Chains A and B, each alone.
Chain A
Amino acid sequence: MMAPWFPDLAAVAALPVGIGFGVALERAGLGSARTIADQLRGRDFTVIKVMFAAIITAMLGVFWATRLGWLDLSLVAMPETDLIPQAIGAVLFGAGFAIASLCPGTACVAAGAGHRDGLITIGGLFLGTLVVMLAWPDLGAAAENTPRTSATLPGDLGWPAGVVVGAIAIGGVLVLGLAGRFEGRVVSWAPSRLAVVALALGALAIATRDGAQPSGGSLTSIAADIAAERDHVDPLDLAEWIKAARSGLRVIDVRERGADSGYQIPGSESVPLEQVPGLSVAPGDTIVLYSDGGTHAAQAWVLLRTRGITGVYVLRDGLAAWEDEVRFPHPVIGADSAAMAAYRRAAELSRWFGGFPSRTPRAPNETRPGAVRSRRNSC
């Protein structure tokens, strides 16, 4: 079974995971402000060593699990990227880190280990968080500069993910080696066994030249999804998703908002095409895009996929097909039993959506006259 294995049981995992996190940080000495202060004076490289060793380990694990087909990375929550506010935030955070000699996670470790300064730092963190959250609407571009994205280095640099992973693993092992020498602890250049494993997995990652991970935004994977018809959803399937209140489902109308926009699929949001690149998407959202015919929706689909957003579909043949197949379905002349069963399914959905299933059979390719079909060329 492909990971993540227990997304619904995440809350059960939280306590043991936190305990593991706390134990690892305390063992390393990161619950002591002295360790962090010594790092920032260049006396002791514990913080950098723990951080790089952890990132390299988890990064190699995620890359290889994805590569081997064990992990579906599109289901993993990815931190947001918004560069200008993040740079401002990183400067404030770094200054606070140097002053408190603890970060939010290690402040909790310090508090757990009995250090009162850890508890006091937690109080400061709460106050700082509260102030910024209350002031958020007035902070403007300092708080939100570009729309939220789940940008990744491979997507932004245009490099295969394997190359980025390999470069970070090999560069990181080098940094760890230099840190050891700087402390005067390591005398020989012979790499440790852990370093050899990291170097080997990193070099192999480069050799794969794998571009499919972690961003869903690589153009080849988008083209493959289109070719395999994983890009669209049939009107009747969408109707069933809406009826079943599928979790995270968002139906989006990308037509221009105008006085004559007329009928909309129930529950859909209106996001005109030019606003699609800035659409906020939460992890786990299933997005279905539609327009009159389907061209604009398909173009919006490509825009979202190149942002690295997965779980996006186009309504096949747009609102025109929705009208024909969901709202006003009709039996086909000479239908066999399977086609009649399909018609009955459509008719039931049609009534649920307030449509009018027709009892008059029509030729297989004939469509309901008038309605949306005449506007099909308007996308």
Chain B
Amino acid sequence: MTTARDRGYADPIRAGVGLGLVLFGVIMLAGRGLGASGAFAATAAAAVDAVAPATASGNAYVSQRVPAGVGGLFGEWLVIELIGVALGAWFSARLANRIRPGIEAAGTESRRSRVLAAVGGGMLMGAGARLARGCTSGLGLTGGALLSTGAWLFIPVAFGTAFLVAALRRRAGGLVSG
């Protein structure tokens, strides 16, 4: 079997413990955990507010998420954190000489189907994360560590569905095979 480790990546358990220490550190320092999907909500709310302010003010869910603090969207904690994630990833990949600009297809997926899967999968995740009140980072990791009941519902349901859908895709053979 070829694992990520065979492709030059670190031992996942050590990387996981490192990630856990980052999460514990931010809870101690700032009283909050890691997140990702919340930054998309703040960005979407800011976009609605900029393009159609009447729609934003008429929708409480949107208006509550329009960044109101100093610095606007770039004063939002999660937005800055997510910019940090991309910077950290760039830095780490560069150090390991792993920057490969281009589309990375999983298995024998064609470039075209990879682009469609990225858009469609991204849309489903964006929608799902709003209903679930978080994603793998904010709800899964942070909520998991804080023993949130919703997080411990989300983790098995989301991963169970993911394994099931991946198996169905393999069986259908169309979008991804190999």
Contacts and interface: CB of A to CB of B under 8 A. Distances in A.
Task: Answer whether A and B are interacting partners.
Answer: yes
Interface of A: 3-7, 9-11, 13-29, 31-38, 40-46, 48-59, 61-62, 65, 70-71, 73, 75-83, 85-118, 120-134, 136-137, 139, 142-143, 150-156, 161, 164-165, 168, 176, 183-185, 192, 194, 214-215
Given A37-B106, A44-B1, A123 B122 contact: yes
A137 B61 CA distance: 8
Contacts of B159: 48, 94
Contacts of B25: 17, 20
B85 A97 contact: no
Pairs of residues from A and B, 9 with the lowest C-beta to C-beta distance, nearest first: A18-B84, A124-B122, A57-B20, A100-B121, A22-B88, A53-B16, A128-B126, A94-B161, A89-B132
Nearest to B70: A11
A57 B4 CA distance: 22
B56 to A, nearest CB: 10
Nearest to B102: A116
A89 B136 contact: no
A16 B30 CA distance: 12
A81 B149 contact: yes
Nearest to A109: B89
B92 interface: yes
Select the residue from B4, B101, B164, B165 with max chain A CB neighbours within 10 A: B4
A91 B128 contact: yes
5 contacts: A22-B91, A26-B89, A100-B121, A129-B44, A152-B146
Given A96-B128, A125-B125, A22 B87 contact: yes
B54 interface: no
A90 B154 contact: yes
Nearest to A127: B123
Nearest to A100: B121
A56 B125 contact: no
Interface string B119-163: 111111111111111111111111111111111111101111111
B124 A93 contact: yes
Interface residues of B, number: 129
Given A18-B85, A79-B146, A109-B86, A7 B31 contact: yes
Contact of A79 (B91, B100, B142, B175): B142
A93 B163 CA distance: 12
A151 B143 CA distance: 10
A349 B129 CA distance: 48
A4 B30 contact: yes
B107 interface: yes
A18 B87 contact: yes
Contacts of A117: 103-105, 114-115, 118
Given A90-B157, A192-B13, A22 B86 contact: yes
B85 A21 contact: yes
Nearest to B33: A77
Contact of B128 (A58, A94, A109, A176): A94
B17 A54 contact: yes
Contacts of A129: 37, 40-41, 43-44, 126-127, 129-130
Given A10-B32, A117-B118, A29 B4 contact: yes
A28 B124 contact: no
B80 interface: yes
A137 B118 contact: no
Contact of B84 (A17, A51, A71): A17
B131 A88 contact: yes
B47 interface: yes
A115 B106 CA distance: 12
B150 A76 contact: no
B68 interface: no
Contact of A77 (B31, B47, B155): B31
Contacts of B37: 104, 125, 129
A171 B24 CA distance: 20
A31 B85 CA distance: 11
Contacts of A87: 153, 157
B124 to A, nearest CB: 3
Nearest to B139: A79
